[in-house]
Structure 1
Amino acid sequence: MKVGCYCRVSTPDQNLDRQIGSTTSYAQHELGVNLSELRVYRDKATGTNTSRDGYKRLMDDVEAGDVETVVVHEISRLARSLQDLDRTVSRVMGLGATIHFVRDGLSFGDGNEQPMYRLQMQMLGAFAEWEARVKQMNTREGIAARQANPEYHHGPAPLGFEKDDGMLIEGPQYDRVVAVLDMVQKGELSKRSAAKELDTSRRTISRALDRDSLYGL
């Protein structure tokens, strides 16, 4: 039996180890598969569509007959859209392969599924889609709220500052920047020398001086 374990997280900094461990362990202990028969397909991308490299490779291999069984940690890892979920499961089964969702306790295409399994899958898929939409809505609302805040700063942080979720905060070099700008403003230091001192460009120094209120000058 040739098994494909599909694992997905939403962002590059998230870890796939737990899903890989879950799916490969299931394949070994529940399906009796050797490690040599396992392939792991990875994605670090949103599940709201199927334009994912790992997903595409998995489905291509199922279609080619190189994968006979698909194992996924849970339904939301495969798809965040009920339509995509239903289409994927139907496609896998239509190609004569089986698909197992470890955490959800559901299997399709192995001849053992119950009528309630499809309903349960659709309910879980609908919840995953709803959850994804709520997250998207909260993200949009959060961005709008931050942008409405007069302290929200668009674009890169000015010289000497850092950004914390859109808000300007003083960076570790802030005091040094203020001291150098003060000298330039008083004519004690040229912009060229200031740029060299702060390892930046004269243009950046000029922009900082145009916003001298940020530095209390």
Structure 2
Amino acid sequence: MRIGYARVSTQDQETHAQLDALRRAGIDVVHEEKRSGATMRRPIFENLLRNLRKGDTLVVYKLDRIARSLKHLLAVIELLHSRGCDFESLTEHIDTNSPAGRLMLQMLGAFAEFERELIRERTIVGIRAARDRGAQLGRPRKLTKPEEVEALRLWRTSRYNHTSIAKLYNVHRSTITRAIERLVQDEQPRLL
């Protein structure tokens, strides 16, 4: 039996393209998962692997849907082969039934891992350069600096708690908590 697996990294993404390709390839049973491939904990994928039977073929739209590193990819392929199962990738046209298919799989896995490492490295360099230029990274704060100072002043009167101040500014309680903690920390004398 040919069993499909479709995965996207976040809840906001959709598997439509993968599902369409798998169905065009004649795959009737497809398991979907919305979870980053960077994490080793993927319950649907783990369950799928446990339930594969001898003679089954795991089919994916693209190689990077099952693994984020060559080591992990090879471990999955080895597990499949130890159970008498095969692997097929529709995009890369890889079928592990032949020695040439297994070689191609390993080469593509190595290149995919190399590409991810290059992207990661460029991202780190870009973030560092942005910080050096003084760019403010991350989500903008909900409160302005004067609003944060006023929130701290209200909290210090002991007439307002974090929740009541949050209601005044129409923000979540944790926003007030972080602002107050940040300002109190800034007031602490710097130790050399």
Instruction: Specify the TM-score bucket, using the shorter chain as the normaliser.
Output: 0.5 to 0.7
Whether 1:45 and 2:36 are equivalent positions in the alignment is: yes
Which residue matches 1:144? Answer: 128
Which residue matches 2:17? Answer: 18
TM-score normalised according to structure 2 size: 0.67
Task: Work out whether residues 6 and 30 of structure 2, in 8 Å CA contact, stay in contact via their aligned partners in 1.
Answer: no
- Greater C-alpha radius of gyration: 1
1:196/1:80 Cα in 2 relative to 1: closer, same or farther (>3 Å)? closer
1:150/1:118 Cα in 2 relative to 1: closer, same or farther (>3 Å)? same
Residues paired across the two proteins, number = 164
- 1:10-53 Cα offsets, whole Å, 9 max, x none, are 3332221111111232134xxxxxx3xx142424213x453222
1:27 alignment partner, SS class: coil
Which amino acid in structure 1 is aligned with residue 91 of structure 2?
R
CA RMSD of aligned residues (A): 3.6
1:42 alignment partner, SS class: strand
Query: What residue ranges of structure 1 are gaps of 5+ in the alignment?
Result: 29-34, 162-176, 182-194, 211-217
1:79/1:196 Cα in 2 relative to 1: closer, same or farther (>3 Å)? closer
2:25 alignment partner, SS class: helix
Query: What residue ranges of structure 2 are gaps of 5+ in the alignment?
Result: 151-165, 184-192
Which residue matches 1:165? Answer: none
Matches within 5 A, 1:1-217: 1=1, 3-28=2-27, 35=28, 38-46=29-37, 48=38, 50-62=40-52, 65=53, 68-109=56-97, 113=98, 115-152=99-136, 157=141, 159=143, 199=170
TM-score normalised according to structure 1 size: 0.61
Which amino acid in structure 2 is aligned with residue 15 of structure 1?
E
- 1:121-147 Cα offsets, whole Å, 9 max, x none, are 111101110111122222222322232
Task: Work out whether residues 71 and 101 of structure 1, in 8 Å CA contact, stay in contact via their aligned partners in 2.
Answer: yes
Which amino acid in structure 1 is aligned with residue 111 of structure 2?
F
Task: Work out whether residues 75 and 101 of structure 1, in 8 Å CA contact, stay in contact via their aligned partners in 2.
Answer: yes
Identity %: 26
